[in-house]
Structure 1
Amino acid sequence: MVDVQTEIVIRRTRDEVAEYAANPDHAPDWYVNIQSAEWQTPRPLTVGSRIAFRAQFLGKTLAYVYEIAEYVPGQRLVMRTADGPFPMETTYTWEPVEGDATRMTLRNRGNPTGFSAFIAPFMAVMMRRANRNDLMRIKGILEEKQR
């Protein structure tokens, strides 16, 4: 099992951070590896919504569909995919800290199969690095909006 959790404090309100991060249309802007996000169900985001993503990871192009499993606006978002060799669950949580700042947590966990299972420890290291970069990127985007 791969289970990677990272967090960052962003100097924006919880509602601002959550609204931006939970919008799949913004994913290519702040996720380093995501190239596109395409809605497969009508907007707005709700439990059962499906979004197709295309990404680059470890030199490979990945195409996968996430389904929203849980969504509490401003607090928590859980998406899951069962497609491909690496079923994944991604969770975002947002909590207010330090006045108008927000702690955003990004967690990815899954059970790789086949060859992916063999390289799972390496994948966890690479995912942790990518997640840190992603959170730094969203922090920069959202904090820059303040200026």
Structure 2
Amino acid sequence: MVDVRTDIEINQPISIVSDYATNPDHAPEWYVNIHSAEWKTPKPLTIGSQIAFKANFLGRDLAYVYEIEEYEPGKKLVMKTTNGPFPMETIYTWEEIDSGRTRMTLRNKGIPSGFSKLFTPVMATMMKKANKKDLEKIKLILETK
């Protein structure tokens, strides 16, 4: 199983960080590997919402759909793939450090199948690096607004 957890402190209030991060339209701006996000269900984001993403990871083009499983604005978002090459769950959580600082945690976990199983150790390392870059990018975007 791949289970990668990364966090970062962002100098913005929790509402700004969580509102930005939970808007799929922003995903291509701060996720280094995501190229597009397309709503498959009507806005706004709610439990059951589905979003199709196109990405590139480890040199492969990927297309997958995430479904929102749990959503507590300002606290937690859980989404799982409904299709794609690798069943994955992504969890965002936010913790208020103080009124102007937020700790955001990004966790990805899944069980590779088929050919992907062989690359599990490499995949975990590469996901950790990508998640770190993603969180650094969202921090930069939100702190320079």
TM-score by length of 1: 0.97
Task: Give the structure 2 partner of residue 12 of structure 1.
Answer: 12
Partner of 2:127: 127
* % identity of equivalent residues: 63
Name the structure 2 match of 1:104: 104
Is residue 76 of structure 2 the alignment partner of residue 58 of structure 1? no
- Structure 2: runs of 5 or more not aligned: none
- Number of aligned residue pairs: give it: 145
Q: State the one-letter code of the partner of 2:7.
A: E
User: Do 2:67 and 2:82's aligned partners in 1 also have CA atoms closer than 8 Å?
Assistant: no
Name the amino acid aligned to 2:69.
Answer: A
Q: CA RMSD in A?
A: 0.7
- CA deviations 1:1-35 (Å, max 9, x no partner) are 00000000000000000000000000000000000
Q: Secondary structure at the match of 1:119?
A: helix
Contact 1:89 1:108 in 2 (8 A): yes
Structure 1 residue runs without a partner (length 5+):
none
Contact 1:19 1:74 in 2 (8 A): yes
TM-score, with structure 2 as normaliser: 0.98
**Tell me, what secondary structure is at the counterpart of 2:144?**
helix
How is 1:27-106 mapped onto 2 (pairs within 5 angstroms)?
27-106=27-106
